[in-house]
Structure 1
């Protein structure tokens, strides 16, 4: 019998016939592979199957290694056999005879031979995924099923364009990184058609944190050519000369006016016009915003919004501003109040070691909004261009959960 305790860092303590030894892998998967090799070599040396148990961060698994190198799952202990039918009948008290059932004709309309398939595809992650690769089709874990559910949520398409507004009246609250991360998740899993729009009243920063296309266009160029873009003869690709495609993350960016010497402020009418244009070309619009909830372009953005996301960091003034932003919406009108009630709050850890503060802030927001999601600290979010593939796996999973929470409100 072999017992192993695998840690998240790939280290393990293995007990073989009462003798303890250390095992080291680069990851949990690597340690599991080494454990399996140890079990199969032991089985080959002893010339009979060996049962081994692996206790991991995701659960405890019992397997059998065969001398020929095959691995199988250990069968659960069979249930206690039932009493033979004849003995059970003899022991049972006599009961009144049941009346013979009569057959009733069923309706053809109410009968169907189609069934819903409840089966999950085999596991691809962790030990279960390892067993799938070894030829044993293993059911996915609860964590993998949850991830698949989130992917399904963000992969759906809706009838008509949906608009998400990312808002917080405090600068530095992680609005722009939130827009970029959510856009990447929706575009990667949903097949594109996602536009990130920097709706700052003058000059925003979304263009600084994302890839620039082969043009220098902004929302002002879209407004200038509105007749051409709204014409019945306009083609789907006509919008591509005004946006900036993100080659890795598959979404597009509509930049704000980046003229440092300019003084143009986007008006409410211009937001309405620009929205009528871009919704013709894209299925999902995720809008970055400025810091002034009283600004005309901010208020007109809310009129088009189906779901709001309120980002904050683990700095308490950002969290307070997030609450005040929700409070402003709740008091404004019925549509804004509904958005506030069904908001998704995303808490991004500002620095390593902020987990406790994130938990404190999350506890305060829960009950005020529909969903609260915490994103762990990740250097890839702090500076430079934001790319989903550069984030740590835990960060990617958190943004997938955030996007799925948003999708479920659309």
Structure 2
């Protein structure tokens, strides 16, 4: 039922300011009220609930002006909980055209020359034959005609923020610029590529956040429908296996090498790889672990990296390769040979930042292909502690002139230790990893 706008009065004067930190200020006739919520939706529900109470107190609809990251919106709220957006009055500089009524008797009787048409104010049907339009002088070839179907232009209504909450009341407000940006990032990470793509995650300094970067990027792609393998291409026991779920076996990359002929045979089935990788139940990707035998002495050769890549490429569409710190080793350099996209993670610590730069510079000097990977790399700056936002932006600014994209990931206690679960991350952290994954996908 539509709100009766004639019942809306100039008072009370109500406005709401909604901040990005889930706090808000509601002002009713110059009296301010502070509202907070554990989430943006909870805050907005609190604010709107208070406005409905005010409408019920007056027994009629009230007007509220709201300001958030999407801009200014004016709403009408009824005592029964109905909400409508009040459209802005159209602004025009046109002067209305007023045509006075004309009486037929007032039309002057002007003499008409022989053969001259007579003008009349009466609407009398014409008895003259309609003019015949001439056929066009030429035709165009049918093959030149474009499609008559209109390009799809429908945008789904907002589902997030204040607009999304209002849409739950029956409105159909368009999404904000931030929500549209997020939808575009989701579209990018959901793309299916023709053939397998390989992403190498590298920094020659330990503790630079390589493993969390691999796990979180794999989770974003996996949750959005990609067939993803996170491969720990480490000469010694890598940490990817420690920070992810283990399956019902202990097999590693060395077992894949030993079984490569069977896994690459024409009779091999898609499920055969499950005996060698470790599935992440909630994040929807698989992990190929490095050898964890403390007594092991086998060092993976460049040729064995080729074999592993052939196997993994057969069973997965997207490969994220974690790496060790020795950029001179055979398996590290062969990983670069197979890479389609380079990701260079770092923290804000000075030595990690310098190591990231040296990694890029070393690849730039390695050859044309490696230099191309360095120039189109995505750098991910991960905060190690709270309160490093300014330092993170300063770090990101150092890399931006030299690479394709830089993304800052805020601090999150869920990434400090233990198994990495994407769903356990804060909302802002998940948004940052989605942004990083979309940046990577644009390079594929």
Per the alignment, residue 179 of structure 1 pairs with: 214
Are positions 1:219 and 2:290 aligned together? no
2:25 alignment partner in structure 1: 13
Shift of 1:205: 1.3
**Counterpart residue number, 2:310:** 276
1:160 is the counterpart of 2:201: no
Q: Residue 151 of structure 1: CA displacement?
A: 0.4
In structure 2, the residue corresponding to 1:203 is in which secondary structure? coil
Tell me, yes or no, if the aligned pair for 2:252 and 2:290 is still in contact at 8 Å. Answer: yes
Asked if the contact 2:202/2:322 (under 8 Å) is kept, the reply is yes
TM-score normalised by structure 2 residue count: 0.86
The answer to whether structure 1 residue 53 and structure 2 residue 53 are counterparts is no
Query: How far, CA to CA, are the matches of 1:203 and 1:21 in structure 2?
Result: 56
SS at match of 2:309: helix
Q: Does 1:354 align with 2:388?
A: yes
| In structure 1, distance between residues paired with 2:285 and 2:69 | 35
Residues 285-331 of structure 1: per-residue CA shift (max 9 Å, x gap): 00001111111111111111000000000101001000000001111
CA contact (8 A) 1:202 1:263 kept: no
Greater shift after overlay, 156-165 or 60-69? 60-69
Stretch moving more, 45-54 or 359-368 = 45-54
Offset, 1:14: 2.1
Match of 2:147 in 1: 112
Say if 2:157 is the partner of 1:122: yes
Q: 1:76 Cα shift?
A: 1.1
Q: Does 2:63 align with 1:28?
A: no
Partner Cα separation in structure 1 for residue 35 and residue 222 of structure 2: 41
Flag structure 1 segments of 5+ consecutive residues without an equivalent: 88-99
How far off is 1:112 after superposition?
A: 1.9
Among candidates 406, 412, 416, match of residue 382 of structure 1? 416
Larger Rg, first or second structure (1 or 2): 2
CA distance in structure 1 between the partners assigned to 2:294 and 2:306 by the alignment: 24
Alpha-carbon distance in structure 2 between the residues aligned to 1:127 and 1:353 = 27
Deviation at 1:41, TM superposition (A): 3.0
Structure 2 equivalent of residue 134 of structure 1: 169
Alignment of 1:61-210 (within 5 A): 61-80=73-92, 82-84=94-96, 105-109=139-143, 110-189=145-224, 191-210=225-244
Q: What's the offset of the Cα at 1:337?
A: 0.6
For structure 2, the residue ranges without an aligned partner over 5 or more in a row are 1-12, 100-132
The corresponding residue for 1:403 is: 437
Q: Distance in 2 between matches of 1:382 and 1:121?
A: 37
Which residue is 1:320 aligned to? 354
Q: Paired residue for 2:120? A: none
2:142 is paired with a residue of what secondary structure? coil
Q: How many residues align?
A: 397
Within 2, Cα distance between the matches of 1:39 and 1:54? 11
The Cα shift of 1:381 comes to: 0.8
| 1:58 positional shift | 4.5
Q: How far is the alpha carbon of 1:350 from its aligned partner?
A: 1.2
| Whole-Å separation in 2 of the counterparts to 1:210 and 1:116 | 44
Give the whole-Å Cα distance in 2 for the aligned partners of 1:38 and 1:207.
50
Task: Return the match for 2:374 from 331, 340, 347.
Answer: 340
Match of residue 90 from structure 1: none
Would you say the 8 A contact 1:123–1:139 is kept in 2? yes
The match for 1:41 among 36, 48, 53 is: 53
Q: Which moved more, 1:383-392 or 1:49-58?
A: 49-58
| Moved >4 Å (runs of 4+) | 84-87, 100-107
Give the C-alpha shift of residue 36 in structure 1. 1.8
> What is the distance in 1 between the residues matched to 2:424 and 2:37?
23
Cα deviations by residue, 1:2-28 (Å, 9 ceiling, x for unpaired)? 112233444433222233334444433
- Asked if the contact 2:190/2:226 (under 8 Å) is kept, the reply is no
What is the deviation of 1:132? 1.2
Alpha-carbon shift at residue 77 of structure 1 (Å): 1.6
Query: After superposition, what is the alpha-carbon deviation per residue over 1:139-169, rounded to whole angstroms, capped at 9, x for unaligned?
Result: 0000000000000000011000000000001
**Does the 8 Å CA contact 1:47/1:67 hold for their aligned counterparts?**
yes
Matches of 2:140 and 2:167, distance apart in 1: 43
* Cα distance in structure 2, aligned partners of 1:61 and 1:298: 54
| Distance (whole Å) between structure 2 residues aligned to residue 139 and residue 101 of structure 1 | 47
Report the counterpart of residue 327 of structure 2 in structure 1: 293
> Structure 1 residues 369 and 24, CA, compared in 2 at 3 Å: closer, same or farther?
closer
What RMSD in Å do the two structures reach over aligned CA positions? 1.9
Contact 2:198 2:318 in 1 (8 A): yes
| TM-score normalized with structure 1 length | 0.92
Aligned partners of 1:12, 1:186: CA distance in 2, in Å?
A: 35
